[in-house]
Structure 1
Amino acid sequence: YRGYILELEDKSKAENKSDQYDFIGSGISANKVYDLYLRLEDDVLSKNPDVVFIYVGVNDVWHKTLLGTGTDADKFEKFYLAILKKLKDKNIKAVLVTPAVVGEKTDMSNPLDGDLNKYCNIIRDIAKKNDLPLVDLRKEFGNYYKTNNPNNEEKNILTYDKVHLNTKGNQLVADLMWKVVKGF
């Protein structure tokens, strides 16, 4: 699947703005918030970005059940705030992104919906308290499912396995991020 970074590049080209933006993906499979914190200096700050999208949380929730290695909510918030502080100290704009899904069922019967909502609320609160832009994937995916998942499927709508984005999922994320990028 083409990731949302490539989709963002396509959007910038389509609007003749590719000379204004360099999109650099720094995500690593299975990373959690503390992994981001530990590699922030080498993988992000060293590139001198103007804007950083902080898109983390799915593995912090999912890995609790899957592997027993998730992140407790209080630690999640502390590491998240520490990342923000490092960005702020370097005058780098931050855009907060809520995790989208661990399962695509629309009736709140995905086993991790409650935990995922809790972590999304932490991110929403941080965005509000710090007056930071928010890409609320959790909300936007939910809205998409209302009209595009009438059979309450657990996958194959915006993900191929309940977590990882398929083509439509990557396009939706890129659309939402692009709206924010154009605002800077």
Structure 2
Amino acid sequence: MNKLILFTLFIAAMFVLSAYRSDRKKKILFFGDSITELGVKPNGYIRVIEDIIRNEDKSSQYELIGKGIGGNKVYDLFLRMEEDVLKLQPQIVVIYIGVNDIWHKSMMGTGTDYDKFGTFYQAIVNKLKAAGIQVVLCTPAVIGERYDGTNPQDGELNHYSNWIRKYASDNSLPLVDLRAAFLNYSKAHNPNNQDAKILTYDRVHLNDIGNKLVAEQMWEKLKTIK
């Protein structure tokens, strides 16, 4: 009889625990630079994702957190992981970095060399995975919106984006290929091949249409993660 009671209590406890877990919101943290910092503003891509989630009647299932700081490069993300990510215990982290690693080379003489970019990127992912966090990778989108390869940083953007694509493939990690999505959009909606005012307001930072595109691309991937 005692064994039966203990077994019944065990089953009841497991049921309560599973119900508690299913009721918890899935915490998604967006980790990046000024694009993500602006993503929490009205009409920012994180706010747009929240709108999509609300429209799909899934607000009770998700909590979104933006942790972007203007000017950040990949090594800045690595240095602030403990305070801005790990202590918050997210279930999913979206890494959206790379623009400043390239852009600041020509703007300020700083930036991140290609080999060091990969080293820091892998270190971030390894730390997140060690904490049991699911990781979603993003390619950097644009530094200039011309679709014909004539933006000054196009070569490096493609180079760094290819590294992220290969790393995602080699490690079976979800990828949001914003670089490809922005180029495809520009080819279809930028007949004058202008370098801004299509998806960005200054060649880099997102306007309302750009925020919507990023939100849709990210949500398509995020909603498949269990």
TM-score (norm 2): 0.80
Q: Partner of 2:73 in structure 1?
A: 32
Q: List runs of 5+ in structure 1 lacking aligned partners.
A: none
Q: Does 1:85 align with 2:131?
A: no
Q: Partner of 1:22 in structure 2?
A: 63
Q: Partner of 1:65 in structure 2?
A: 106
Q: Partner of 1:95 in structure 2?
A: 136
2:57 and 2:86 mapped to 1: Cα distance? 27
Q: List runs of 5+ in structure 2 lacking aligned partners.
A: 1-41
How far residue 180 of structure 1 moved from its aligned partner, in angstroms, is 1.1
2:210 and 2:104 mapped to 1: Cα distance? 21
User: 1:134-170 CA deviation, whole Å, 9 max, x = no partner?
Assistant: 0000001111011100100000000000000110000
Paired AA for residue 121 in structure 2 = Y
Counterparts of 1:162-177 in structure 2 under 5 Å? 162-177=203-218
How far residue 66 of structure 1 moved from its aligned partner, in angstroms, is 0.4
1:24 and 1:46 mapped to 2: Cα distance? 13
Partner-residue secondary structure (3-state), 2:149: coil
Judging by fraction of residues, say which structure has more helix: 2
How far residue 87 of structure 1 moved from its aligned partner, in angstroms, is 0.5
Q: Partner of 1:161 in structure 2?
A: 202
Q: Partner of 2:31 in structure 1?
A: none
Counterpart of 1:111 (choices 152, 155, 169) is: 152
Q: Partner of 2:15 in structure 1?
A: none
- Name the larger-Rg structure: 2
Identity over aligned residues, as a percent? 58
Partner-residue secondary structure (3-state), 2:62: coil
Q: Partner of 1:122 in structure 2?
A: 163
Higher relative contact order (CA 8 A, sep 6+): 1
User: 1:62-105 CA deviation, whole Å, 9 max, x = no partner?
Assistant: 00000111000000000000000001101100000000000001
2:50 and 2:207 mapped to 1: Cα distance? 17
2:121 and 2:50 mapped to 1: Cα distance? 27
Q: Give the superposed CA RMSD.
A: 0.7
Paired AA for residue 118 in structure 1 = H
Partner-residue secondary structure (3-state), 2:65: coil
How far residue 181 of structure 1 moved from its aligned partner, in angstroms, is 1.4
Partner-residue secondary structure (3-state), 2:135: strand
1:11 and 1:44 mapped to 2: Cα distance? 24
Q: Does 1:139 align with 2:187?
A: no
Judging by fraction of residues, say which structure has more strand: 2
Q: Which portions of structure 1, spanning 4 or more consecutive aligned residues, are displaced by more than 6 angstroms? A: none
Paired AA for residue 155 in structure 1 = A
How far residue 45 of structure 1 moved from its aligned partner, in angstroms, is 1.0
User: 1:8-38 CA deviation, whole Å, 9 max, x = no partner?
Assistant: 1111100010111111010111100000000
2:113 and 2:100 mapped to 1: Cα distance? 11
Q: Does 1:76 align with 2:120?
A: no
